[in-house]
Amino acid sequence: MKIAVIGGTGDQGLGLAMRYAKAGEDVVVGSRKAENAENAVTEIENLLNQSNMKNLEGLSNPEATVAADILILTVPLQAQKTTLDSIKEYVDGKIIIDATAPLSSNIGGSPTEFIEVWEGSAAERTFSLLKGKDVAVVSAYSNISSSSLMNHKEDIDCDCLVCGDDEEAKLKAKELINKLPGVNAIDCGPLSRSRITEKITPLLIGLNIKNKTHYAGIRITGLDKK
Ligand SMILES: NC(=O)c1ccc[n+]([C@@H]2O[C@H](COP(=O)([O-])OP(=O)(O)OC[C@H]3O[C@@H](n4cnc5c(N)ncnc54)[C@H](OP(=O)(O)O)[C@@H]3O)[C@@H](O)[C@H]2O)c1
């Protein structure tokens, strides 16, 4: 199973690509410019102190989409439509995991405030923008900080809230998420629940600012207690 991180040159995408490449998964970093994706691959190799990693390559976003089975979308909200438009014709039969948090900073405001999206959530907007395509949309990763991902010598101290309407796709996404060391994928139900989960991100950013850290995350407890 090949993973493409669409917009994988930014903080969140680079962190996810690095973690999965380190775990031995086949990873493609996607970018608007293939050259930038190749540079991101070199950056990951340098950070991991490895060279010519066979399971990691950098391609343009459309080429990365063609090459992969699972896509992880890691672009800011304002880039969501143009990015999806650029890969739309290649998404049939694939799973797309949307990591977007709709923050007020996407429109010039504060990252500690969320903005309402007409469709209900960023992930539902992805679903809407890909209407007519045979693609399963899952919402996840939006509560994991890029700092925790980039800090690859340590486990990640948080859980990952997962929402989606396609149970099979959600299962595959959860398997992938559970490969992040320290992370438990928590099934939060249908895609519409991402209206709640995406709003946790500006809360965590506010806690980071208040406590002068970059590692705030959440853990869900008590689910096994009978
Ligand atoms: N950073 C975090 O800690 C964090 C945590 C949780 C969730 N998230 C979510 O993850 C997503 C990515 O966050 P990030 O901090 O990694 O974002 P970012 O660094 O600002 O952007 C990621 C990539 O998106 C592409 N991009 C940026 N602006 C664009 C535009 N106007 N049009 C088209 N492409 C554009 C760029 O790739 P190319 O130039 O290579 O094409 C860029 O490297 C966001 O939706 C964010 O809410 C981030």
Cα-based distances in Å from 210 to 144, 207, 215: 17, 5, 12
> Across 8-88, where does the E strand assignment appear?
26-31, 56-60, 70-73
Tell me the pLDDT of the chain (226 aa) as tens digits: 999 999 999 999 999 999 999 999 999 999 999 999 999 999 999 999 999 999 999 999 999 999 999 999 999 999 999 999 999 999 999 999 999 999 999 999 999 999 999 999 999 999 999 999 999 999 999 999 999 999 999 999 999 999 999 999 999 999 999 999 999 999 999 999 999 999 999 999 999 999 999 999 999 999 999 9
Mutating to test ligand 1, I would choose from 31, 74, 158 the residue with most ligand atoms within 8 A of its C-beta, which is: 74
Residue written as tokens 């540079």?
39
pLDDT at 226: 92
pLDDT at 27: 98
CA of 28 to the centre of ligand 1 (A): 16
Which two tokens mark 83? 């990015």
CATH superfamily name and code, 2-211: NAD(P)-binding Rossmann-like Domain (3.40.50.720)
Q: How do residues 58-82 score in pLDDT, each as one tens digit?
A: 999 999 999 999 999 999 999 999 9
CB 37, CB 8: distance < 8 Å: yes
62 CB near ligand 1 (under 6 Å)? no
CB 72, CB 173: distance < 8 Å: no
Q: How do residues 138-175 score in pLDDT, each as one tens digit?
A: 999 999 999 999 999 999 999 999 999 999 999 999 99
CA of 79 to the centre of ligand 1 (A): 8
Degrees to nearest 5, angle at CA 85 with 33 and 133: 130
Take atom 18 of ligand 1 and give the residue whose Cα is closest: 10
202 CB near ligand 1 (under 6 Å)? no
CA of 98 to the centre of ligand 1 (A): 12
